[in-house]
Every structure is written in C-alpha cells, then in structure tokens.
Amino acid sequence: MNPTARGASSVAGPCLSNTPMSLSAHLLLVAGAFAGQSDGAVSPRTAPAVSSPDQTEPAVADEPLAEHRLELLDLARAIASSLPEFPHVKDRSREEEAVVGALLELGQPSRAQDLAGAILNWRRGAALADCAFYYAERGDEAEAERLLALADEVARWPEERIKQSWRRDRVRSRIARAYTRLGRGDDAARYVVDGLEDSEWGGVEAVQASLVEQDEFDAWFKSIDRVFVDGSFDQMRNACFVLAEAYGTNFPDEKRRARLEATIRGAWDKLPPQVHLDLMHILANHALEHGDEAKARGLAAEARDVFRGVRFTAEVHVANAVRLAELRYRAGDREAARADADAALATYQQEREKIIDVFRTEALVPLAEAYATMDAKQTALAVYELAASEAIVNPNSRPRVEDLGAICRSMALRDVAPSEALWSLLREVSATLGREYENL
C-alpha cells in the first residue's frame, strides 16, 4: 500500500498539444521506432461481456493458488462490489480495479478479466488493458489482442461517459503499454498520437525501458533526458520512474547503471519527499533482484536519512517506517529491521488517537506486510486483526469497503491465512456493507 493520504489524487498537467508534437507522442514514436522493428458509469444491464462467440481458450491458464488466498480474493471482490452504482460508482470501480491488480499479481488472469469486464465505469478499459499486458508478457498474443479490442471500446466512449480527459488517457496509456510489450510500437503510438496528459505517459515508456536493445540505449536515454530540460513537474516525476525501471534492466552494466542513477539523483531533490522515498525503494529493490545486498543497504540507509528529515502525519510516518524496515530486512540487516518494525508498531499505539479512524488501516496494513516478509506470520496476523478491528469503527460502508478490501488483498498477496475469528469478522461485516443505500 502506498503511504499517501486517502483521497489524494495526481493532478494531471496540461496536454502539450499546442506544441508541434507533444512530448508523450514524441516518446511513443521513439518507442515505435524501437519496438516496431519487430467518470461516467454504464449500467450493468448494458455492460458488454468480456467473452465473445469466437473466443478461444487462453494459452495461459490461472496458476494453482492456496484455497485461503483464493477465498480472500473472492471476498475482496464481493466487498468491492457491495457498493452500489449510485452514489458510489467511482469508489466501487476503483476498489474492483485494485482486486484485478491483485489477481494478476497472483497469476489469476481468468478471474481478473472476468472482474475487469464487470467494472461499471472507465476503469473497465484500464483493467482490461492490464489483463492484456499480463497475457502479452507471457506470449499469448491472441488473448492480449482480444482484451485490447475490448479496452479500445471503452477508450472510444463519448465524452459524456468519460467526462474528464485524464480518464480516457489512462485507458489509452494502458493500451499503448500492452502493445509496447507485444513489440508493436506502431500500434502503441496510435494511442498517443494526439498526446497524453503529462501524468499518463510514464507507464508506457517504463515498458519501453525494459525492452530497449543495447545499441539503442543512447538514443532512448536522450529521448527521456530532454524531459529534465523542458518538461513539466508530472513529466519529470514520471521520467524518474521510467529511469528507475531502466536501472533494473541495465543493472549488470555498471557504467549505464551509474548514468541512470546520477540522472535520478539530480532530479529527486526537486520532487516531494514521498516520491524521493519511492524512487529510492525502487532502486534498492532492483539491487536486491540482482543480488547486490550492499548496494541495497546503502540506498536503504540513505532513504532512512531522508525519512528522518521529514515530518509526516502519524499514519504516513508508520507506513514509511515499516516499508524501510522491510527493505532493510531483505537487504540482510534482519535484527535491526525487526526492531524498526516493532518501533513502528509502538509508534502507532502511541499515536493512535491522533490518527483519524479512516486512516488507521493505511498504517497497519504495511506493518502487517513487513512482519509477513520477516517470516513473523503470527505477528502479521495479529496486526491484520488489529487493522480489521479499526476498519469497522467507522459505521459507513465506503471506508469499510476500502479498509476491509485492502486487508483481504494484502493477506492474499502476502500469504497470511486468517484465523477463524478474523474469517468470521470479515464475512459478517462484508455481508452488511451497502445496506444503508438499499432504499435510495
């Protein structure tokens, strides 16, 4: 869970269509040159099905998964869908999209696309494109194509159903991302030819970063580096995340890796502290993926220094502290990491009354996840139980849906089986969600 306040949204910067060619279009044309070498809601009664008469069985099947994890994901879906279309289509759809993401992360593409096709608003297109990306990564081009066609239908909805340009751009960028992964840069470029909102192009370019061939790196890097000269804030932020993705892909090349890191370092002091921390986590995780624990420990130590220099709200402080503890543990500093996690739990207990009830789960879920990573599953379970008890303090369904859904998704992802008492609580409370809207 990203430690940012609930309800915060990224404000999209202005589209650059007043220039001869928008920056996002330029970048995708570069991507095409490389890869080519190869809130309006819709009623459930009119929502098109994901399957089609000529659909063939996908070549990529759902992976085996423990029963408790499947049940947690099913419960997360039921919780998300308990919110009615009116007045909560935006919240419901956002929560359902989050379940799609968890299903894909756990290798359940059939379940994911079934839920994606049932989402009521524009997020349907984004979720279907994410499913297409999953199949594209695994070489099932036919299934990816089928899902991209359905996502394209959403991208073409009339303005009165989309309502805000960034929503259409979110769908278009996800489609372009999947086509880029398929190695079809020309098809990807079609979705950005008129330019994307500044906040949206980074996801597409991050995929391209993982596909750039050795002899194309310099040209690709220059296309990104220009953002730091004349780009907007959103573009610069996204460019940093793109470079962080390339950092992982190019980690074995010490010279190239140093060039990427230096560029990121030159920019992150201009970015908000949370973005700075997020970037440091990404770089450290890439170092761990490549077995460089020393590099990861160094980055973790730097991140702790940044963290200590910023005054966060209590819930964001706890969430960041445990992310750092988890990173420290994975980098080999295990005893100190466990002490950091215990200190974060103590901070939560001391500061609990200062934390608004709807934000308490946002602090506790990352803490439970850190304990799960540290192979302290019983402690993790106790923290999840605490999070669930905090989630039901607020009597309204919307915050309960957000919190209980986050708990179920997290437990499934971290493979923590609920106790009988927690199962009972989750099932009983989920059965009551949305009842206050029955007579509307």
Question: What sign does the dihedral 229-230-236-240 (CA atoms) show?
Answer: negative
Structure confidence at residue 11 (pLDDT): 29
Structure confidence at residue 55 (pLDDT): 60
Structure confidence at residue 44 (pLDDT): 34
Residuewise pLDDT in 10s, the chain (440 residues): 445 444 333 323 323 233 333 433 433 333 333 333 334 443 333 344 454 545 667 789 999 999 999 999 999 999 999 999 988 999 999 999 999 999 999 999 999 999 999 999 999 999 999 999 999 999 999 999 999 999 999 999 999 999 898 899 999 999 999 999 999 988 988 887 666 666 565 566 667 676 777 778 888 888 888 888 888 888 899 899 989 989 998 999 999 999 999 999 999 888 999 999 999 999 999 999 999 999 999 999 999 999 999 999 999 999 999 999 999 999 999 999 999 999 999 999 999 999 999 999 999 999 999 999 999 999 999 999 999 999 999 889 999 999 999 999 999 999 999 999 999 999 999 999 988 776 65
Structure confidence at residue 201 (pLDDT): 58
Q: What contacts 24+ positions apart, CB below 8 Å, involve 287-295?
A: 287/251, 288/330, 288/331, 289/248, 289/251, 290/248, 290/251, 290/252, 292/251, 293/331, 293/332
Structure confidence at residue 247 (pLDDT): 94
